[in-house]
Structure 1
Amino acid sequence: MKLAIKIEMLRCFRAVAEHGSLADAAETLGRTPSAVSMMLRQFEDHIGAPLFESARKSHLTPLGMMIRAEVERELAHFERTVTNIEGLSRAEHGNVRISATPSVAQVIMPPILRRFMADHPGVRIEMSDTDSATIERDLEAGRADIGMASIGPLSGFERELVFSDAFGVVCPVDHPLARDWSHLTWADMTGYTLIANGLCKQITDDGFRPILDASTLMVRNTASILSLVRSGVGVTILPEMAVLPEFLDLEFLPLTDCSIRREVWMLTPPDKLMTPATRALVRTIRTAEFPRNR
């Protein structure tokens, strides 16, 4: 029974073909000439025909020239594969899919991704911004590697608190509520149209319940909510970090009697099930500098 062709046989043949002698090939490979000669003989025995015209190994046979071309292609492919495998293990390559709520994607993730991409330029990032229910479905269906949202525990996933921030009223800077915002309470919102959103259900304050029940407009996309606020349709309740500093036409008004904070959690598979690239991004998120208890 013939021996199987091994990658070392291909490397040995390539080295002899390149150098034209057993001694020079042996020096390149870090082997003895006799070891190279034996491996080359095993390769030729497997093929069933000589690869060199003479024992001097200075000229390939026509079959040897054809096989050399195949060997070069195979070794190049093998070496690329090894490089890719090592790159994946060191988080130099790979793919990471993030599913995050819009405010997290817009405010929290940009500096994190800028730092991560500088450290891991070969890793491909795919981020979607959506609501918490969709993020949960993305994680369960395997469409996301990391979830960033205000959601509860999810079976099969690790969950850790990333940061929390206060809820407040968001309105135009010239809105009547903005005149004395340092003492704003739920009672002050009576008579104003509330644009409700998905995060409102997290607020369990007794003073907010009748305000939410009276709302006739529910909008789930943060950008759409803020556009409606700008156009004078109404005011809304959002976490502080959802209102970017460059939104100069909008005011975030803290509420003195709001006891609930928005909590953003990171959900990931257990460490042993994460790819190295995902694990590296999780580390970057954990060490990011943003107000965890704003």
Structure 2
Amino acid sequence: MAIKIEMLRCFSAVADHGSLMGAAEALGRTPSAISMMLRQFEDHIGAPLFETARKSHLTPLGVLVRTEAARELAHYARTVDAIEALARARAGNVRISCTPSVAQTMMPPILRDFMHARPGVRIDMRDTDSGTVQRDLIEGRADIGIASMPHMPGFRRDLLFSDPYGVVCPIGHALAERWQQLSWADLDGIDFIANGLCAQIDDEGFQPILAASRLMVRNTASILRMVRAGAGVTILPQLAVLPEFLDLEFLPLVNSAIRREVWMVTLPDTGISPAVQALAQVIRDAGTDTAD
């Protein structure tokens, strides 16, 4: 018969209280039940743990076993607490892969509040382009992906929000003077900085502009700095123009309905931990609140 955790608990209670009656009251058991469990424990180890039947004095072996029992009971309690914390989303690890615009605009208040409510959860967030977000999910490097992504078999996809595309240029640029009538034709002959999201724009008028581009930049902050430096103009979703770039303009296009759709992608709830489920629901709710 293996040593059971209840044997250690009964023995420790008797040692702490100095009697079967005291241990029984502490554990909510009958003295006879405590006595039987203690006898099974001593039979298993093959030696007495108490000097007398009154259980008031430990044998030398009992002193050593009491120390080990206390250590094991504390470890068991920590294990139970950890399991319950994981089950209730109070602990765990969550890996997020998302685009820079989402990381810098949507996620800060979400993660601030989530981590305050669940201090035992650790979060690892990576900001990258949409293609890498998709690969991170497929290859198991992310639990939650947030980007413009197609349907992925075996994954759950929730639309968080959509925002319009527009031309991004420095304040005072010639394009800004006629932005109310801005169309693809106005970009002809202007240095254009391509980016990863350009592949999602299928307007025929945009294709010659993209084909003529001599510069491709994939990081959003780097794209905006290139525009600020006068290297050209670009096309980005409205929310990708970060608030700190006050010297840039976002110019909507006339007669163009193109919009970026930002999706959150996870495995189905049955395939993710409670902590991931909890954070995904918070992000889902935030996306619903801000969706156009």
Tell me which residue corresponds to 2:126: 128
SS at match of 2:52: coil
Tell me which residue corresponds to 1:291: 290
SS at match of 1:111: helix
Tell me which residue corresponds to 1:38: 36
Q: Which runs of 5+ in 2 are unaligned?
A: none
TM-score, normalised to structure 1's length? 0.97
Task: Quote the offset at 1:153 in angstroms.
Answer: 1.2
One-letter identity of the residue aligned with 2:192: L
TM-score, normalised to structure 2's length? 0.97
> Does 241-250 or 124-133 show the bigger shift?
241-250
Task: Quote the offset at 1:244 in angstroms.
Answer: 2.3
Alignment deviations for residues 221-252 of structure 1 (CA, whole Å, 9 cap, x no partner): 11111111110000110000001233211111
Kindly indicate whether the alpha-carbon contact (under 8 Å) linking 2:146 and 2:264 is maintained by their aligned counterparts in 1.
Answer: yes
SS at match of 2:286: coil
Task: Quote the offset at 1:175 in angstroms.
Answer: 1.1
Task: Quote the offset at 1:258 in angstroms.
Answer: 2.0
SS at match of 1:245: coil
Kindly indicate whether the alpha-carbon contact (under 8 Å) linking 1:194 and 1:211 is maintained by their aligned counterparts in 2.
Answer: yes
Alignment deviations for residues 64-123 of structure 1 (CA, whole Å, 9 cap, x no partner): 011111111111000000000000000000000000011111111112112211221211
Alignment deviations for residues 136-179 of structure 1 (CA, whole Å, 9 cap, x no partner): 11111111000101110112111121110000011111211112
Distance in structure 2 (CA, Å) of the matches to 1:51 and 1:95:
43
SS at match of 2:47: coil
> Does 114-123 or 148-157 show the bigger shift?
114-123
One-letter identity of the residue aligned with 1:199: L
Tell me which residue corresponds to 1:111: 109
> Does 283-292 or 67-76 show the bigger shift?
283-292
Tell me which residue corresponds to 1:239: 237
Which 4+ stretches in 1 moved above 4 angstroms? none
Kindly indicate whether the alpha-carbon contact (under 8 Å) linking 2:158 and 2:284 is maintained by their aligned counterparts in 1.
Answer: no
What fraction of aligned residue pairs are identical, expressed as a percent?
68
One-letter identity of the residue aligned with 2:17: H
Kindly indicate whether the alpha-carbon contact (under 8 Å) linking 2:101 and 2:242 is maintained by their aligned counterparts in 1.
Answer: no
Distance in structure 2 (CA, Å) of the matches to 1:182 and 1:271:
46
Total equivalences in the alignment: 291
Kindly indicate whether the alpha-carbon contact (under 8 Å) linking 2:49 and 2:58 is maintained by their aligned counterparts in 1.
Answer: yes
Q: Is 1:68 matched with 2:57?
A: no
Kindly indicate whether the alpha-carbon contact (under 8 Å) linking 1:186 and 1:257 is maintained by their aligned counterparts in 2.
Answer: no
Which of 6, 9, 12 in structure 2 is aligned with 1:11? 9
Distance in structure 1 (CA, Å) of the matches to 2:10 and 2:100:
56
Distance in structure 2 (CA, Å) of the matches to 1:220 and 1:147:
18
Q: CA RMSD in A?
A: 1.0
SS at match of 2:290: coil
Tell me which residue corresponds to 1:218: 216
SS at match of 1:49: coil
Distance in structure 1 (CA, Å) of the matches to 2:119 and 2:180:
45
Q: Which runs of 5+ in 1 are unaligned?
A: none
SS at match of 1:280: helix
